[in-house]
């Protein structure tokens, strides 16, 4: 009996032509969504547990589910280079990488503009330059490396921008009213889930409170 064909985990399985330095760089850029998810949101939940960030991450997950539903419905093939990349068994429209990064970029920008968590930042355009540049580079990388066509990455980008803006509106106009309820719930108390968006400068607030707590401990010890 012949052995069944092997399939790679596509989450981190990114190929580029040997000796192509730009392709090597773009292959790492193509993994940015993985770094954002595992390194960014997971770490933030462990150490911060902010409701705004948790719903930010939830929106990205919902966006990816929508992407899979559309891909399964449309079933548009990837470019011919998919054979070399061992990706012909999956669909290409819209690009999930582009959708993810542009959702992230637009949501992050709206958070910055509204001053949620970043009210103390003066040069907000400089802060927003990073996610948008990474989004564009990710979109370019998927075409350059042969995983998607130009139309597929632009479709992903457009859908990501639309869903990111819609989810931001839902969170801040509907779900936000229930933040105090979530904080006071059994789940919120157990995992110390909180909302600090009403604090103008959270970094200064935490810094001052940490210093005050240390001073109180020193006074009690003396």
User: What are the DSSP calls for 146-178, one per residue?
Assistant: TSS-HHHHHHHHHHHHHHHHHHHHHHHHTGGGG
- Calculate what percentage of the chain has a pLDDT beyond 70: 86
Give dist(CA 162, CA 158) in Å, integer: 6
* Average predicted confidence (pLDDT) for the chain: 83
- Looking at the predicted structure, is the pLDDT value of residue 169 above 90? yes
In contact, 78 and 64? CB cutoff 8 Å? no
In contact, 138 and 29? CB cutoff 8 Å? yes
Model confidence at 125, pLDDT cuts 50, 70, 90, reads: confident
In contact, 28 and 72? CB cutoff 8 Å? no
How much is the pLDDT for 124?
67
- Looking at the predicted structure, is the pLDDT value of residue 221 above 80? no
In contact, 79 and 67? CB cutoff 8 Å? no
- Looking at the predicted structure, is the pLDDT value of residue 38 above 60? yes
- Looking at the predicted structure, is the pLDDT value of residue 214 above 70? yes
- Ranking 32-46, 140-154, 155-169, 170-184 by mean pLDDT, the lowest is 32-46
The backbone region for 199, taken as left when phi is positive above 0, alpha when psi lies in -120 to 50, beta otherwise, is: beta
Biggest distance spanned by C-alpha atoms of the chain: 78
More confident residue, 76 or 151: 151
Structure tokens given for 145: 């490396």
More confident residue, 12 or 75: 75
How much is the pLDDT for 218?
79
Give dist(CA 98, CA 147) in Å, integer: 12
Look-up of token digits 């399939």: 7
- Looking at the predicted structure, is the pLDDT value of residue 70 above 90? yes
């Amino acid at each position: 009996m012949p052995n069944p064909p092997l399939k790679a985990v596509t989450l981190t399985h990114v190929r580029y032509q040997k000796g192509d330095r730009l392709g090597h760089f773009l292959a790492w850029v193509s993994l940015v969504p993985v770094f954002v998810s595992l390194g960014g949101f997971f770490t933030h939940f462990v150490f911060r547990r902010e409701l705004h960030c948790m719903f930010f991450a939830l929106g990205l997950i919902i966006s990816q589910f929508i992407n899979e539903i559309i891909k399964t419905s449309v079933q548009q093939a990837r470019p011919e280079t998919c054979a070399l990349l061992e990706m012909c068994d999956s669909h290409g429209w819209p690009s999930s990488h582009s959708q993810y990064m542009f959702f992230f970029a637009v949501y992050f920008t709206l958070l910055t503009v509204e001053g949620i968590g970043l009210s103390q930042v003066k040069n907000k355009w400089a802060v927003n330059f990073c996610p948008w540049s990474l989004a564009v580079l990710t979109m370019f990388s998927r075409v350059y490396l042969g995983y998607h066509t130009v139309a597929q990455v632009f479709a992903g980008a457009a859908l990501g921008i639309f869903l990111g803006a819609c989810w931001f509106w839902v969170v801040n106009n509907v779900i936000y009213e229930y933040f105090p309820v979530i904080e006071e719930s059994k789940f919120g108390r157990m995992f110390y889930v909180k909302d600090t968006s009403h604090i103008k400068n959270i970094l200064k607030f935490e810094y001052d409170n940490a210093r005050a707590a240390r001073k109180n401990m020193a006074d009690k010890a003396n």
